[in-house]
Amino acid sequence: MASKKPIAGRVARPSAAPVVAAAPPSPRKPPILFDATQKIIARVQERLGATFIAYWNSVRGSICHNDVVVLNQMLRKAKPNEKLMVFMKSDGGNGEASLRLVNVVRTYFKQVVALVPLNCESAATMFVLGADEIRMGPMAFLSAVDTSIRHDLSPIDKDNDRVSVGANELTRILAQWKTRATTSDPNPFAELYKYIHPLVIGAVDRSDSLSVKLCEEILSFHMRDAESIKRIAHALNNDFPSHGYPILLREAQRLGLNARPLDRDLEHDLMELNECYSEMGQLCRTDFDEGHHHINEVINITEIAGAMVYYVVDKDWHWRESDRTWVHTNERSKWRTREVGERGAIVDDELHIR
């Protein structure tokens, strides 16, 4: 049989290979440096001869009520001891949670010492007020605890966002009015109400009373002089020119707090621990395209010898063009635990808090 010939004008071509879409990149995750931090904690605890616990927040973390559950669970695992040493590093958070944290540590330990190598601000300052002693390094500072709130009726700024209104700011406005007012000046509140809603002023005053009450209650866990308690609480809420004013060691001593320098060797260990936590707390962002990315970040860490609890933010973000804003989906943020199990095995698990 004669073989078929190709039709004139046609050239036989190989079939095209299928196009395979590139797989999206795997989301980046920060390291969990449990082995390194446990070695430091073991060294510190042996040197101190007391139970040691570390509480650390990243710049996007904060003191919250969930931390009370975490702290209680961790201290139940700790070996019995009369003395607790707390490494505290935080930008602050919820003052009412600080009161509850102090109550937890005071339930388990007769003596509490706060170790402050770095920033210990706002609600974190409230927490260390509950310590019998505060040891501060050369870079350490506490801060004022005066109140400011962002209310639903707060004034609006140039970007159409609600602004915070501070109790100290309102007090200073009224003080200026009293010193400069003349007989023809109207009631200051009549003018204030043109810019700040009365309900906002009421809410700020209530919040300021809460802040003073929290400080007094926390100090009373170990101080008995009522006048000293009131004086310290008033000073922290009213005597500083800004909320972030750094209260250094000598200022803390002038306030009447039992503060002393942090031992240099201990400070070195705590700074090494902070470096590990800072590496764990790095922001890991994975971009899929210009409108989609993933965030993974550890923001709160609590650790004792043998166990660590940390909160990891784990979510996807999408740009929604309809209202031109970023929204998150696939929320997998959670509390996680890592501890030394039987025969030295490392056990990872989730901690469910509701």
The answer to which of 3-17, 79-93, 95-109, 286-300 has the lowest mean pLDDT is 3-17
pLDDT score of 106 = 93
Residues 185 and 111 in one domain: no
DSSP for residue 196: S
Share of the chain above pLDDT 90, in %: 46
Residues 306 and 344 in one domain: yes
Rounded to 5°, the CA angle 166-168-170 comes to 70
User: pTM of the full predicted structure?
Assistant: 0.81
pLDDT score of 150 = 63
- On whether residue 254 sits in a domain, the answer given is yes
162 with 151: CB under 8 angstroms? yes
Asked if the model's pLDDT at residue 309 lies above 60, the reply is yes
Residues 251 and 153 in one domain: no
300 with 310: CB under 8 angstroms? yes
Asked if the model's pLDDT at residue 146 lies above 80, the reply is no
pLDDT score of 20 = 57
Total domains in the fold of the chain:
2
pLDDT band at 278 (very low <50, low <70, confident <90, very high): very high
pLDDT, the chain, mean: 84
CATH number of the structural domain spanning residue 280: 3.90.226.10
* Of the ranges 70-79, 225-234, 342-351, the best mean pLDDT one: 225-234
Residues 163 and 108 in one domain: no
- On whether residue 222 sits in a domain, the answer given is no
φ/ψ of 34, rounded to 5, equals -65, -45
Mean of pLDDT values over 148-154: 62
Asked if the model's pLDDT at residue 113 lies above 90, the reply is yes
116 with 88: CB under 8 angstroms? yes
Residues 132 and 188 in one domain: no
- On whether residue 48 sits in a domain, the answer given is yes
Residues 134 and 247 in one domain: yes
Rounded to whole angstroms, how far apart are CA atoms 96 and 214?
A: 7
Residues 185 and 292 in one domain: no
Residues 133 and 274 in one domain: yes
pLDDT band at 11 (very low <50, low <70, confident <90, very high): low
pLDDT band at 55 (very low <50, low <70, confident <90, very high): very high
- On whether residue 337 sits in a domain, the answer given is yes
Residues 62 and 184 in one domain: no
Residues 180 and 319 in one domain: no
Residues 138 and 165 in one domain: no
pLDDT score of 164 = 67
- On whether residue 9 sits in a domain, the answer given is no
With a CB cutoff of 8 Å and minimum separation 6, the contacts of 202 are none
pLDDT score of 148 = 64
Mean of pLDDT values over 66-90: 89
pLDDT tens readout for residues 162-200: 766 666 666 777 677 777 666 666 677 766 766 776 777
Give the position of tokens 């710049």: 59
3-state class percentages of the chain: helix first, strand second, coil last, to nearest 5: 35, 25, 40
Residue 157 domain boundaries: 149-201
With a CB cutoff of 8 Å and minimum separation 6, the contacts of 205 are 167, 170
Residues 139 and 162 in one domain: no
Identify the three-state secondary structure at position 213: helix
pLDDT tens readout for residues 193-212: 667 767 776 666 666 667 88
167 with 208: CB under 8 angstroms? yes
- Locate 33 and state its tokens: 């440096």
H runs (alpha helix) in the chain: 34-48, 66-77, 95-108, 123-128, 167-180, 188-192, 198-219, 226-238, 249-255, 264-280
pLDDT band at 151 (very low <50, low <70, confident <90, very high): low
DSSP per-residue string spanning 116-127: ESSBB-THHHHH
